[in-house]
Chains A and B, each alone.
Chain A
Amino acid sequence: MTRQRAAYGFVAPALAAIAVFFLLPVAASVLLSLTDFDIYAVADRRNLRVVGAANYVQLLRDPLFWVALRNTGYFVLVGGPLSVAASLAVALFIDAKLVRAKGVFRTIFFLPVATTLVAVAVVWRYVYHPRVGLLNYGLSLLGLAAVDWLGDPRWAMPAIMLMAVWKNFGFNMVIFIAGLQSIPERLYEAARIDGAGGWQQLRHITVPGLAPTFLFVAVMTLIGYCQLFAEPYVMTQGGPAHSTLSVVLLMYEHGFRWWNLGYAAAVAFVLFAIILGLTLLTLRLRAAGAGGEDSR
C-alpha cells in the first residue's frame, strides 16, 4: 500500500508537467483552431469568437498555404530520401571489412549532427554566397557556372536540402551501422561458400536484413523533415518568392508575428494530420512487408 502511494508520488510530478504543459495545450489547440483568436483577443478575451471550421476553409483558399505545403512536400519527398540514401551509403562504406579506424570516420560524419542548427545555417549562408562562397568557388574549379543558391527561387530549396542532408545524415548512419552489424556473419559466410559475389550478398542478405532498420529510419526522417523551420528562417526567411516557405514557418509567422493564433492553430493541426498520416502509412507498409517476408 505504501509502495503504491510511493509510486504515485514518483510519477506525479512528471505526469503533471506533461499533462499541463503538453497534452492540455495540444487539446486546447483544437479549440483554438475553431476560434478567430487574433491580436485583439490577445489584448482582451471578449473579442474572441467561435468561428467553427472557418479557419480551415480559409486555409484551403489561402494560396500561401498551398505554396508552403508544396515546398514542405518537396523538402520531405526529395530531401528525406536523399538524406537516407547518404546515410545508408556511408554506413555501407564504414561497415566494409577492409576499413580500419571505423570509429574515427563515424565521429567525423556524426559531427554535423552534434552542432547547433542555427549556427551551421549561418555558416552555410556564407558557403552559398553567390560571389565569394566556397561552393561556387568549388564549382568554378570544375568549370561550372556560378549559381545564386539562396537568391534563385529554383535553387533555394535544393540548397536547403543539401544543407539539411549534410547536417543530419550522420544520425541515420549510426543507426544503419548498428543494423548492419546485427546481421549474422554466418549468413555471409554461407553465401560465399555458395559462390555468391559481393553484389548478390548485398541484395539477398544485407537488404532484407536491414529492412526493419530502414523502415524505422524512414518514419523518423519523414516526421523530422515535415517540421522544417530553422533552415529557411535563418537562411532565406522563406524567400525568394516564397520558394522556401515551409508549413511550420507559415505557422510561426501567423501565430507569433501577426498574432493570428486561431489561424495558426489550424495550420499546426493540418501539419499534425499529415505527419500522423505519413506515419500510419509507413507502418502499414511495414506490416505488409513483414507479411511478405513470412511467406517466403
Chain B
Amino acid sequence: MKRCVQAAFIYGALGTGAAATVLPLLWMVSASLMPAGEANLLPPRFWPSTVTFAHYGVLFSRLNVGRYVFNSAMLAVAVTLISLLLNSMAGYAFAKLRFRGRDGTFRLLLGALVIPGQVGMLPLFLLLKQMGLVNTYWGVIIPGMASVFGIFLVRQYALSIPDSLLDAARVDGAGELRIYWSLALPACRPILVTLGLFTFMGTWNDFLWPLVVLTGRDLYTLPVALANLVGEHVQDTELMMAGAVLTVLPVVVVFMALQRYYIQGILSGSIKG
C-alpha cells in the first residue's frame, strides 16, 4: 500500500514536471500552425482551429528564411567537419605519439579551458577585420576550427587504443598518416560522433559570435535572423513561432537521433574533467 502511494507521488511529480517542461515547446509548434491572431486570443488556445502552414510560407517567400537555413546548415557542417579533422589529429597525437614538449603543451591547453570565450572576442574581431574576414563565412568557421575541449575529449578516448595495434601496423610498414586514418580514426568513432554532435549543435545554436561577425543580412544564421525579426514582427506571434520551430527543429531531430552519444559525451567530459 505504502509503495502504491509512493509510486503515485513520484509519477505525479515527474508527470507534472515533464508536462511543464514540454508545454512551451508544444505551444510553440501549435501556435506556428494557427491562423494569424489566434495565438493572441484570451483564454489562450492550445490547438489551432484550422491548421495552416501559411506562416512558414511567408518566412520562406518574403523573409528570406531559406537563405538563413542554408547559412546555418552550411556553417554548422563546415565547422563540424574541419574541427573533427583538426581535433582528432591533435587528440590522437597527444594520446599515442611521443614528442618533445607533449605533456607540457597539453597541460597548458588544459589551463586555457578556464578562459571564457568572450575574453578574446574583441581582439579576435579586430584580427579578422584586418584579414578581411568580417562578414564572411570564414569569420565564423575560423575561430571554430579547433578547440581545447575537442582535443581533450579525443585524447582521453584515444588513450585506450592499444599501442601493440599501432606498432604492429608500423612493423607492416604503414606510415603514420595511414595509421591515423585507417586505425586511430575508426577506433575513435564513438567519441568522434559525440564531438561532431556537440560541435554541430553548438555552432547551430551559437548566437553572440555570429551576431558580432556576420554584419550583413545575407549571411545571418537562423538565431541571429530570428533575434532580428522579432524586433520587427513582435506582433506576429504565429509567424515568430514558425521561425522558432524552424530554428529548433533541425537540432532537436539530430539530438533525438544521436542522444546516446550526446549523453555519453557529457558524462565523459564531466567525470574525467
A binding-site residues for B, Cβ under 8 Å? 2-4, 6-8, 10-11, 13-15, 17-18, 21-26, 28-29, 32, 90, 93-94, 96, 98-99, 105-112, 114-120, 122-127, 131-134, 137, 166, 170-171, 174-175, 178, 213, 216-217, 220, 223, 226-227, 229-230, 233-234, 248, 251-252, 255-256, 261, 264-265, 268-269, 271-272, 275-276, 279
Majority-rule SS of B interface residues: helix
Task: Give the complex CA separation of A234 and B207 in angstroms.
Answer: 10
Using CB atoms, name the residue of chain A closest to B262.
A114
- Distance (whole angstroms) from the CB of A39 to the closest CB of chain B: 13
- Distance (whole angstroms) from the CB of A195 to the closest CB of chain B: 16
Q: List the B side residues contacting A132 at CB < 8 Å.
A: 39-42, 44
Q: 3 nearest interchain CB pairs?
A: A25-B120, A6-B176, A10-B93
- Distance (whole angstroms) from the CB of A89 to the closest CB of chain B: 8
Using CB atoms, name the residue of chain B closest to A276.
B114
Q: List the B side residues contacting A220 at CB < 8 Å.
A: 270
Segment at the A interface, from B11-19, B48-56, B187-195: B11-19
Q: List the B side residues contacting A18 at CB < 8 Å.
A: 109, 112, 146-148
B binding-site residues for A, Cβ under 8 Å? 3, 6-7, 10-11, 13-14, 17-18, 21-25, 27-28, 31, 39-44, 86-87, 89-90, 92-94, 97-100, 102, 105, 109, 112, 114-116, 118-127, 142-143, 145-148, 151, 175-177, 180, 201, 204-205, 207-208, 212, 222-224, 226-227, 230, 234, 237, 240-241, 243-245, 247-248, 251-252, 255-256, 259, 262-263, 266-267, 270-271, 273
23 residue pairs A–B, Cβ–Cβ below 8 Å: A15-B105, A18-B109, A18-B146, A21-B145, A22-B115, A22-B124, A23-B112, A24-B120, A29-B119, A93-B14, A98-B3, A106-B263, A110-B263, A116-B247, A120-B24, A122-B227, A131-B42, A174-B267, A178-B267, A233-B207, A234-B227, A255-B122, A279-B114
Q: List the B side residues contacting A112 at CB < 8 Å.
A: 21, 25
Known: A4-B100, A166-B24. 5 other contacts (CB 8 A): A96-B10, A108-B22, A111-B21, A123-B25, A268-B122
- Distance (whole angstroms) from the CB of A73 to the closest CB of chain B: 16
Are A272 and B212 in touch, CB under 8 angstroms? no
Are A125 and B230 in touch, CB under 8 angstroms? yes
- Distance (whole angstroms) from the CB of A59 to the closest CB of chain B: 15
Task: Give the complex CA separation of A146 and B98 in angstroms.
Answer: 65
A6-B176, A8-B99, A17-B146 known; A29 vs B120 contact (CB < 8 Å): yes
Are B10 and A93 in touch, CB under 8 angstroms? yes
- Distance (whole angstroms) from the CB of A55 to the closest CB of chain B: 12
